[in-house]
């Protein structure tokens, strides 16, 4: 049995983050050292409550740490609450027993990495403000992170916050740029890995409503998301954070990655929050091959297996 991944999960916990937290808690390939939260889908306080409720339901005692209430710039990028006001379907299912830790998220990240150099992997499921703040505070320590996994960017497809920008990057593009420039291995799972084969359609949601407590929790948590998606003609919910977590916890889920140089646009304007991926070894018409890479972008995964694998974990 290979050694477990020692992970910190950084999250802006709404329905799909909650599914990812539960998947991690139910997986024997990872050890969750802590969950750090930031505002994004919901407020910081709500993200903490949602995280604790999901972890408790999964039987995990992983501690939760409060982080950023706003992006690095301090200027909030307004987005719709597609998951509902509480991020969990406004279904009155969030009643955590626990409380967040008194230590802050940034200090928890730095202390954990400092005490375990070269061993800690961070799974970033929201805006990466906490990670950027940790880099600003102690870059030398953060350079000892083993790998950052990021549910972020549009990958090689379209965006969701704008036609070219994905929500987690759009909410704090300077933070994302800071993360990309850190220089530790980064694996990006973009929105393009979250397309139709990974969606949970209404028939499956109906089955989950008759399922166990975790399946019922996630079905309820995604009800407002289903309304939003149906408004776009899609009778299903997507769980991008759980897809990203699947890439980490399931050793044979990822089939291909592309080595790239990722460049995050932080200038104001139509392309704000876009991440351009220059593929290694590829000669573009107007530029020579790039000589440097900073990310591995997941370009192929066993997407058709995702929904069944996720529900098997929920039932385990």
Interacting residue ranges for ligand RIB, rule: CB under 6 A? 12, 14, 16-17, 40-41, 125-126, 151, 160, 166-168, 191, 240-241
Per CB under 5 A, the segment of 6-14, 67-75, 103-111, 216-224 that binds Ca ion is 6-14
DSSP 140-202: HHHTT-SEEEEE-S-TTS--SSSSS--HHHHTTHHHHHHHHTS-S-EEEE-GGGGSGGG-EEH
242 versus 293: smaller Cβ distance to Ca ion = 242
SS3 of residue 281 by DSSP: coil
- Is residue 172 a contact point for Ca ion (CB under 5 A)? no
Rounded distance, CA 112 to CA 78, Å? 32
The terminus-to-terminus CA distance of the chain in angstroms comes to 19
The partner in contact with residue 121, picked from Ca ion, ligand RIB, none with C-beta cut-offs of 5 to 8 angstroms by kind, is: none
67 versus 141: smaller Cβ distance to Ca ion = 67
With CB atoms as reference, the residue minimizing the distance to ligand RIB is: 167
Number of residues in contact with Ca ion under rule CB under 5 A = 5
56's enclosing H/E stretch is helix 44-57
12 versus 86: smaller Cβ distance to ligand RIB = 12
Q: How far is the CB of 20 from ligand RIB (least distance, A)?
A: 8
121 versus 241: smaller Cβ distance to Ca ion = 241
33 versus 244: smaller Cβ distance to Ca ion = 244
- Is residue 125 a contact point for Ca ion (CB under 5 A)? yes
Residue linked to tokens 């759980």: 242
Distances (CA, A) of 58 to 33, 53, 91, 207: 15, 9, 18, 19
Binding pattern for the stretch 126-155 against Ca ion, x by CB under 5 A and - elsewhere: x-----------------------------
User: Any alpha helices (H) in 232-271, and if so which ranges?
Assistant: 240-249
Binding pattern for the stretch 238-257 against Ca ion, x by CB under 5 A and - elsewhere: ---x----------------
Rounded distance, CA 179 to CA 131, Å? 7
Give the interface with Ca ion as residue ranges (CB under 5 A): 12, 17, 125-126, 241
């Amino acid at each position: 049995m290979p050694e477990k991944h020692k992970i910190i999960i950084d999250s802006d916990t709404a329905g799909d983050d909650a599914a990812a937290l539960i998947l991690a808690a139910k997986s024997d390939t990872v050890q969750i050292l802590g969950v750090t939260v930031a505002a994004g889908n919901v407020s910081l306080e709500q993200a903490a409550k949602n995280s604790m409720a999901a972890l408790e339901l999964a039987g995990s005692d992983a501690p939760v740490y409060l982080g950023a209430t706003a992006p690095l710039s301090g200027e909030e990028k307004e987005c719709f609450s597609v998951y509902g006001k509480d991020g969990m379907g406004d279904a009155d299912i969030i009643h955590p027993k626990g409380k967040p830790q008194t230590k802050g998220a940034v200090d928890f990240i730095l202390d954990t990495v400092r005490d375990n150099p070269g061993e800690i992997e961070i799974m970033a499921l929201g805006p990466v403000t906490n990670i950027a703040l940790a880099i600003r505070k102690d870059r030398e320590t953060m350079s000892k992170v083993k790998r950052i996994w990021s549910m972020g960017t549009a990958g090689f497809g379209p965006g969701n916050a704008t036609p070219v920008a994905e929500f987690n990057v759009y909410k704090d593009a300077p933070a994302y740029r800071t993360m990309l420039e850190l220089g530790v291995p980064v694996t990006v799972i973009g929105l393009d890995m979250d397309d139709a084969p990974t969606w949970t359609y209404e028939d499956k949601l109906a089955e989950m409503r008759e399922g166990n407590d975790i399946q019922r929790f996630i079905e309820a948590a995604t009800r407002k998301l289903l309304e939003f998606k149906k408004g776009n003609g899609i009778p299903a919910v997507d769980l991008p954070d759980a897809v990203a977590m699947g890439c980490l916890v399931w050793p044979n889920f990822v089939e291909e990655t592309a080595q790239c140089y990722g460049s995050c646009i932080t200038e104001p304007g139509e392309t704000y929050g876009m991440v351009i991926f220059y593929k290694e070894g590829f000669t573009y018409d107007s530029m020579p091959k790039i000589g440097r890479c900073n990310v591995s972008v997941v370009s192929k995964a066993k997407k058709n297996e995702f929904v069944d694998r996720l529900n098997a974990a929920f039932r385990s």
